Amino acid sequence: MEVTRQARAHVARLDLSTAQVAVLDGQAHAARALWNLLHEYVTFRQGRLATVKECDTAIRAARREIDWMGQLPAQAAQAVLKTYRQAWANFFDPGHPAKRPTFKARFRSRPAVDVPQARDLNITRLNRRWGAVNLPKVGRVRFRWTRDLPGVTRGGPAGRITGARLVKQADGWHIVFRTERQVPAPAAHPGERVGIDRGITVALALSDGTMREHGPWLRDGEKQRLRRLEKKSARQRRTRVPGRPASRRLARTYDRIARLRATAKRRAVDWQHQTTTELARTFGVVVVEDLTITNMVRSATGTIDNPGRNVRQKAGLNRAITGQAWGRTVTLLEYKTRDRGGLVVKVPAPGTSQTCHRCGHRDPAARDGTRFSCVNPACGWAGHADINAAINIRNAAGTAVSGRGDLGAARSAKRQPPRAA
C-alpha cells in the first residue's frame, strides 16, 4: 500500500505563570532583535549577501558579547537564521508570492519563539484536559489538551512530533506542535463536482442550490463593548504627547480591543474549519474563482492630484471582504480535499456573476443585489445571483488556471487546464 507523509500543526493554549510569561516575552523580543540584526548584517554589505556560515559565526559572536542575547536559547537562535534564509529563498523563487524580507517592528510583528528539536519537549499527558511540556529556559509548563498527539499517547495516532513554535496571541501564549504521520495514499474521491461562489451577503453559495452561512462573529453585547473601547481609545489618544510611548491605560484599552477581535477571529476560523471539512467530505472536485484579494481590498483614497471617490463606502466593503477571509477558506479546502482524494480547481473570475448559466448571455444589468434576472428574451431565467455565479464557476472548470489536490492517480495541475473529472 502506498503511503504519504502528512505534516500538520496542532495549536494548544499554554498555562503560564507571570514569571514564565516574562521569560517568553524576553525570548520573543530577543528573537525579533536577532532577525533585525541579521537583516542589517546581510543587506548592508557591498557586493553580495552574507553566507549561512558567516551569519552563524556572527550569531555565535553576538551571543558571547551581548548579554540580552543569552535570553534566547541557542537552538531558537539557529531557527531564526533558518527562517531568515528561507525568507530570502522564497523571495528569489519566481513562483512564490513572498516579498523582500524587511525589518520587524516591535509592535507590528507577532512575538514567536521556535523550539526546533522535539526531544527537548518531553510531552506527557496529565489528565483528560491538560498536558505538560518542557520549554527551554522556561521549565515545565501545562497546556490545554484538546486532541491526541501522534506518538505521545498510548493507543493514539501513529507518528511523531518534529518540533514546536511558541506564538503569543491576544489571549496569551500558545504552542504550535509540528506533527508528522505516514498515512495511506487516498483513493479518488467519489463525490460530484461543485462550484462555490464566495460572497459577503452569503458567505458560500454552492452550485447545487445550497448555501453555507454564519451569523455575526460577536454578540450584541460584545459589539457594544468593542465600540465603547474604540471610543475610549480615541479619547486617550487625543491626550497622548507625540513621540512619547503610549500610557498604560491606553495599552490596557488596546489589549481589551485585541482580545475581542481575537474572539471574533477564533469563531470565524472554527466555522471555516467545520464548513470546509463538510465540503471536502461531500464533494470530489471543488471549483472556486481565482481571486486576487489583495487588489480587491486596496484603498480608494487616491492621491492629492487624483482623489478617490466613495472612499468610505469602499473602506466598508474592504472590511467586509477581509472579515470573510476568502483566502483562508480556499487554503483549508485545498489540504482537506487533498487528504480525501479530491481536487480544488481555480477558474478565471471575470463574468461569473454577470452571465446567465442557462443561455450564456452576459449583461451587468442582469444582476441586482442578490437577484439575477436574465435579460435575454429567449431565456428569462431568474433566481439567486450567487447560485447562478456558483453554477458558472462549476461549468468553467475546463478553463482552470490552477488545480491543487489529488484525483485519480494523484495528478496536480498548475497554470494549465486539468483533465476532465
CATH of residue 358: 3.30.420
**Same-domain check for residues 96 and 205:** no
Does residue 142 belong to any structural domain of this protein? Answer: yes
Within this chain, do residues 166 and 308 fall inside the same structural domain, yes or no? no
Based on the fold, state whether residues 123 and 208 are members of the same structural domain.
Answer: no
What pLDDT score was predicted for residue 163? Answer: 92
pLDDT of res. 407: 47
Look at strands 285-289 and 343-347 and give their pairing. parallel
Residue 154 is predicted with a pLDDT of 74
| Residue 249 within any structural domain of the chain | no
State the maximum Cα–Cα separation within the chain, in Å, rounded to a whole number.
81
Rounded to 5 degrees, φ, ψ at 345 are -115, 135
Same domain membership, residue 134 and residue 39? no
Q: Is 367 inside a domain boundary?
A: yes
Q: Based on the domain organization, do 343 and 357 belong to the same domain?
A: yes
The per-residue pLDDT for 417 is 38
Q: What is the pLDDT of residue 317?
A: 85
Q: Are 127 and 163 members of one domain?
A: yes
Helices 248-282, 220-238: axis angle to 10 degrees equals 140
Confidence at residue 307, expressed as pLDDT on a 0 to 100 scale: 78
Instruction: Determine the pLDDT at residue 399.
Output: 56
What is the predicted pLDDT for the residue at 412? 38
Residue 160 is inside which H or E element, if any?
A: strand 160-169
Residue finishing a domain among 108, 134, 167:
108
Whether residues 13 and 118 fall in one domain:
yes
Q: Which residues contact 401 (CB under 8 A, 6 or more apart)?
A: 290, 346, 347, 348, 415
Could you tell me if residue 359 is inside a domain? yes
User: What's residue 319's pLDDT?
Assistant: 86
On whether residue 292 sits in a domain, the answer given is yes
Query: Does 356 share its domain with 212?
Result: yes
Residue 311, pLDDT score: 81
> Residue 36 belongs to what domain range?
19-108
Residue 331 belongs to some domain of the structure: yes
Do 154 and 74 fall within a single domain? no
Residues in the chain predicted with pLDDT less than 70, given as ranges, are: 1, 45-48, 397-421
Residue 413 lies in a domain: no
Q: Is residue 374 situated within a structural domain?
A: yes
- Each as own residue / partner, the long-range contacts of residues 370-377 (CB below 8 Å, 24 or more positions apart, any chain) are 370/201, 370/202
The pLDDT value recorded for residue 315 is: 85
* Pair 274, 336 in one domain: yes
pLDDT tens by residue, 275-307:
999 999 999 999 998 888 888 888 877 777 777
Q: Render pLDDT for 300-339 as a digit per residue (tens, 0 to 9).
A: 777 777 777 778 888 888 888 888 888 999 999 999 999 9
How much is the pLDDT for 332? 94
Strands 343-347 and 367-368: unpaired
Where is the domain boundary, 59, 76, 108? 108
Q: What would the pLDDT profile of 188-244 be if each residue is shown by its tens digit?
A: 889 899 999 998 889 999 999 899 999 999 999 999 999 999 999 999 988 888 878
Do 318 and 178 sit in the same domain of this protein?
no
pLDDT (0 to 100) of residue 403: 58
> How many domains, in total, are found in the chain?
3
Closest to 286 measured CA to CA, from 196, 352, 212: 196
pLDDT attached to residue 273: 95
Using CA of residue 215, residue 272, residue 200, residue 299, what is the dihedral sign? positive
Q: Do residue 305 and residue 399 come from a single domain?
A: yes
